[in-house]
Structure 1
């Protein structure tokens, strides 16, 4: 069987933990530095090209040279980055067994509990009331200002003219006052009343939308809580069944353990397994990538004369030795992780096959190629100090069937079974 529900959760957690650990590894740091240098050089190249395009004709020769130099630096940095990436990939493959030895493969199932994670309320803007519109007030009421009375001799001769000016000013004031009164007592009250009504309508709409958004958010939170509760109830049933020694639960726990086993991206491994409670035996099949999918270039060099990045491939012997060692490491790692994680010691023996599915160059058809068939007894296997073993030699000690050349797709015979 493949990864189940809890196995997938564990697998993703282990991938995250493995990534965090690898960030501190010198090879990764070197790779990251090379990547940053490549990116920096590329940015300089792009800036130089832009400068070249902007440069005046008399400056283009200099800009052209700077752009060429930046391009060369960028390509060299890219080659160095690709080399660092390749070396890091090789280091991960070469340490398949070592990578698991500092990790306790026992899985505390409580670590798989689900906690509902709620996003922030998406409509916080609706929680702020709309500002009440300011009341528009009329300008001060216009006052009548009579023309200044005549003085001196003009008091005798300009009485009529002054009276006419006063009457004209009063008529103008009356017209102005009439307009002011209409605006102050009719127009502005209507405007204020309309603005206030529009505000009330908008506020009611805001409150309605807020209530709907909060209700929707509560429903979504409730649904997330429900899913989390159901997952945790399922987990508790799993824990109870495992504590009771239920064979199906033991099988599922193995799935969690092997799902928690994070292999390099360039050498991923998928397990299928089945537990026989009567015999206390776990049968495991580990599917590894075929030789053709494993990285083979070990170095990259920029050649300025042809403006190309050339790769240096590993020799056939290097590829063969690395692949064959990796196959053996997968086998020993699988035994180790299952036995170490089974603290209740319910799994007494493991029967293991390591194989790949790929095209048979003789038939053109996809076929299974078994490379390792091995069986291990718990008590015997746990005596080994895996920090100091050669996995190939360990398999030989266990009398396992091992392909003479897995890299060359030379399968073992399964005629006599695993034992």
Structure 2
């Protein structure tokens, strides 16, 4: 890190340098500080690669330099967002009338969904949270999976609800929320006269497991709750016929978050928030000022917290258009086949144990039932450079975490990575 900083930390030139020199210096200085996350053999985090059409569209997006916050600033960006909205809700099995906000990632998409929930639930209690704030507001209770992603907690902090509003619902051995324990939590909530928000998850960041969202929605709605689904990568299972059984009833929830820069493989800065209640979504996000021109058409600022943002949907449209429905399904299913191939190959190695049911693109592996040995294997694999993976803690034990999300990953990449892991296992012993 220090060496990289030193390369860039020259005296700011008084009169500048030629454009070509600035770009050449940038390219030379960053070269050995880049992480090759889109080459087909990066499995450390849930990192999508970049589809050719999406990359080209992203170049055009920067060239056009459109602000997608308002229709008046870019009618083209507004039109593409509306078309992507229609395509995505159909592809993912969500309500046709659902509103959509194109934001920076699943963190902001989760925040948008929870902000819409906060508005809706407090409005039902006669409280205008946008005008009156939270001081004196009815206390809102949040029920979320014990294995939830950390972005849910941060969204609650940013929204002023605080993590103390959250009660964790126990999960099974794969990280799925247990409906029976949720039912008990809902029963305990009855009679408290508090607005209630339930956060479900499809695609556990470690195991890939999916909460039974349809059943959760039915139970939660009977108790008057709003259901939000964190589907950062797992929601794409709804687009693949062979995986839809993992997310039955997902369209019955109230809001959803997903990343396009994960399994849709568009460049970074591309999250999507969906809401089955557009009025609540808009009320939580919209802004107005005397100088803003309203046309009655789609204004992106009605659906995200940003007043200035690049036209992210151009790359999303290009990805959807280039792949089509069957191409998207095949890309997602191929990643899952690769994950299963990893699990099969690695489970054959002496002393190596696969810890999870490989239902999506996540594989958890432990070596010699040892935290130290497992960590050493990860370090050796990273140093070798043939592939990259990291570690996590799963049910109290250190594990290698393999995430397959890149459209470029093929069987040969899996086999090459398996060989690198096998060599590291031998060396660690």
Please indicate, yes or no, whether the TM-score normalized by the shorter chain is above 0.5: no
TM-score (norm 1): 0.19
Structure ranking higher in helix proportion: 1
Q: Which has the larger radius of gyration?
A: 1
